[in-house]
């Protein structure tokens, strides 16, 4: 098949998590003999743009076309990607593809691709990556978008991809029929975890002793991530386990000043470490040395960071609203209500029981390799693609 993948960001960008999924799918599809082309933008972390990229690159056997954003400030601040050059490319090229995979929902490129896919009769798959729900100040804007374009994009998709049953229900709430929804989880590249760094390297770098317990958060520092809840729960945890450190890893996404102010108000500055973003080997070192990984976001649709932590043998804690809650709870960690006291108790439970941590860690490694291997996931995705092509034959 000749497959077009459309994603707001792509490697080598450090911006966003969608790029990880779109890259992994594209790479494995290319390895399996498909011709894969990616349309993406030049957005990078913060307000910067990707450097040293031409209009077309070949990455891991994938033809990648980077289109310049009209404003990378808008891309960073408001998630408003405006690759105007994609219009001309879509008009000229879309009819050459067998199928299109959209890795976003409410954005400019989805409007463009839906228009030309419909015009030329090319089926497209939509994968919203947890962006379906409306929240906070963006709710009104999303509703306007849906009335103008969103419902049409959903209606005209040949299939939609949900990573969990939770996301499948969200599609249904927006009028998508059940027979159009396919549940295909995300995965991780297991090769990245074959040779993990030795334990203790992260601790030595940041002056943490082997006796200190480490609670790790890794992800964007954004108001929706549940960091306020985590910090307040941690302030209670150290009353019972004072030799504990909260390590927050990730780039600022507008919430860092408020988070630092809260940490200071709670008088836990000396118990908290904010490292900024870490990548590749440095990120793995943090996972390996952590005693527990916590991401308490109440509505996390999936959470690749949970899989990464488990692949490193680190137990995890999520909220019961997380799409992976049923997989995690009492198997490789805990899923708890979005509540400070219950999060505190779950953290204390894991940190106080070394045997439990070891058992959760070993089960986590096995779970990731059995259920979240990209090879198996892409096999499933290929069958979804083919089902969309059948009416044409």
Q: Does one domain contain both 196 and 181?
A: no
- As a whole number of angstroms, the distance between CA 42 and CA 51 comes to 8
**CA angle centred on 253, ends 284 and 236, rounded to 5°:** 70
pLDDT of residue 284: 98
pLDDT of residue 52: 62
Q: CA dist 291 to 143, 189, 215, 300, Å?
A: 41, 23, 6, 22
Residue 254, domain extent = 191-371
pLDDT of residue 263: 98
Q: Which residues in the chain land under pLDDT 50?
A: 136-137, 392-393
The first and second tokens of residue 226, run together, are: 């549940």
Helix, strand, or coil (residue 77): helix
pLDDT of residue 51: 72
| Total domain count, the chain | 2
E strands, the chain, are: 2-6, 35-41, 56-59, 62-67, 99-102, 124-127, 159-162, 181-183, 213-218, 244-249, 272-276, 292-295, 316-319, 333-336
Say if CB 306 and CB 293 are below 8 A apart: yes
The first and second tokens of residue 195, run together, are: 């040779």
DSSP labels, 354-373: HHHHHHHHHHHHHHHHHH-B
Q: Check the CA dihedral 131-129-60-4 and report its sign.
A: negative
pLDDT of residue 393: 44
- As a whole number of angstroms, the distance between CA 245 and CA 235 comes to 10
Q: Does one domain contain both 9 and 142?
A: yes
Number of C-beta neighbours around residue 118 at 10 A: 15
Q: Does one domain contain both 338 and 250?
A: yes
44 closest CA partner among 66, 76, 22, 71: 76
Q: Does one domain contain both 315 and 226?
A: yes
- The residue length of the chain stands at 393
Q: Does one domain contain both 127 and 181?
A: yes
Q: Does one domain contain both 112 and 218?
A: no
- As a whole number of angstroms, the distance between CA 162 and CA 183 comes to 5
Q: CA dist 132 to 141, 143, 299, Å?
A: 13, 10, 11
Q: Does one domain contain both 367 and 377?
A: no
Q: Does one domain contain both 324 and 387?
A: no
- As a whole number of angstroms, the distance between CA 193 and CA 12 comes to 19
pLDDT of residue 54: 56
Q: Check the CA dihedral 282-287-289-292 and report its sign.
A: positive
pLDDT of residue 49: 82
Q: Does one domain contain both 180 and 211?
A: no
pLDDT of residue 79: 83
Q: Does one domain contain both 382 and 266?
A: no
pLDDT of residue 301: 86
pLDDT of residue 55: 66
Q: Does one domain contain both 218 and 329?
A: yes
pLDDT of residue 136: 44
153 closest CA partner among 138, 129, 133, 174: 174
CATH number of residue 261's parent domain: 3.40.50.2000
- As a whole number of angstroms, the distance between CA 61 and CA 213 comes to 43
224 closest CA partner among 305, 338, 335: 338
pLDDT of residue 57: 87
31 φ, ψ (degrees, to nearest 5) = -65, -30
Q: Does one domain contain both 158 and 241?
A: no
Number of C-beta neighbours around residue 55 at 10 A: 12
pTM of the model: 0.81
């Amino acid at each position: 098949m000749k497959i077009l993948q459309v994603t707001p960001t792509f490697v080598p960008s450090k911006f966003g998590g969608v790029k990880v999924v779109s890259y992994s799918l594209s790479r494995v599809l290319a390895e399996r003999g498909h011709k894969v082309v990616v349309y993406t933008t030049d957005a990078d972390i913060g307000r910067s743009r990707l450097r040293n990229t031409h209009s077309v690159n070949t990455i891991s056997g994938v033809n990648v076309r980077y289109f310049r954003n009209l404003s990378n400030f808008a891309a960073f601040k408001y998630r408003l990607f405006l690759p105007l050059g994609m219009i001309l490319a879509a008009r000229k090229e879309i009819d050459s593809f067998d199928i299109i995979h959209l890795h976003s929902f409410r954005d400019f490129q989805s409007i463009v691709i839906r228009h030309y896919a419909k015009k030329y009769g090319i089926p497209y798959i939509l994968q919203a990556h947890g962006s379906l729900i409306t929240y906070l100040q963006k709710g009104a804007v999303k509703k306007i978008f849906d009335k103008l374009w969103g419902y049409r994009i959903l209606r005209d998709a040949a299939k939609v991809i949900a990573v969990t049953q939770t996301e499948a229900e969200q599609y249904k709430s927006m009028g998508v029929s059940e027979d159009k929804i396919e549940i295909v989880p995300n995965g991780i590249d297991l090769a990245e975890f074959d040779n993990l760094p030795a334990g203790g390297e992260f601790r030595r770098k940041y002056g943490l002793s082997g006796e200190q317990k480490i609670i790790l958060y890794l992800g964007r520092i954004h108001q929706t991530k549940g960091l306020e809840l985590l910090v307040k729960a941690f302030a209670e945890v150290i009353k019972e386990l004072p030799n504990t450190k909260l390590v927050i890893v990730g780039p600022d996404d507008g919430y860092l000043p408020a988070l630092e102010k809260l940490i200071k108000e709670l008088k836990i500055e000396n118990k908290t470490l904010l490292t900024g973003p870490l990548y590749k080997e440095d990120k793995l070192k943090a996972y390996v040395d952590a005693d527990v990984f916590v991401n308490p976001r109440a509505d996390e649709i999936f959470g690749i960071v949970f899989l990464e932590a488990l692949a490193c043998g680190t137990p995890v804690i999520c909220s019961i609203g997380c799409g992976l809650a049923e997989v995690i709870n009492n198997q490789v960690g805990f899923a708890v209500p979005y509540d400070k006291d219950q999060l505190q108790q779950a953290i204390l439970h894991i940190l106080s029981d070394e045997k439990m941590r070891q058992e959760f860690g070993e089960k986590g490694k096995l779970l990731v390799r059995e259920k979240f291997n990209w090879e198996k996931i892409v096999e499933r995705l290929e069958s979804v693609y083919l089902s969309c092509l059948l009416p044409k034959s």
